[in-house]
Amino acid sequence: MPEGNAVRPCNLHIVKTLKLTEEMIHLADRGEADREDNGCGILYGVLRDSAYKLKKLAEAEKQNHIRKGWWARKDDEADP
């Protein structure tokens, strides 16, 4: 259990995961816009689908932590 104003490490990992999924979605969008063949379209489609699946899991886990009282407002602003 962290002391004082420290963010729980498990919450920090969730925040990092959510940020990573946003980067994945952004990369998939850019890649799709710049693609030159169908193989790239498949790659970026899989990347986007994976990002949304991970995001859904991370959001659900965040809600679990909120319900357990493990998530503080400051955790949303944590800088991973």
Q: What is the pLDDT of residues 27-77, one digit of tens each?
A: 999 999 999 999 999 999 999 999 999 999 999 999 999 999 999 877 777
Measured CA distances, 13 to 31, 42, 75, 76 (Å):
26, 29, 10, 11
Q: How is the chain split into domains, by residue range? A: 18-72
| Predicted pLDDT at 76 | 75
| Closest CA relative to residue 63, chosen from 50, 76, 78, 51 | 76
10-38 per-position pLDDT tens digit: 999 999 999 999 999 999 999 999 999 99
Q: Give the whole-angstrom CA distance, residue 52 versus residue 26.
A: 11
Q: What is the dihedral of CA 33, 37, 43, 46, to 10 degrees?
A: 70
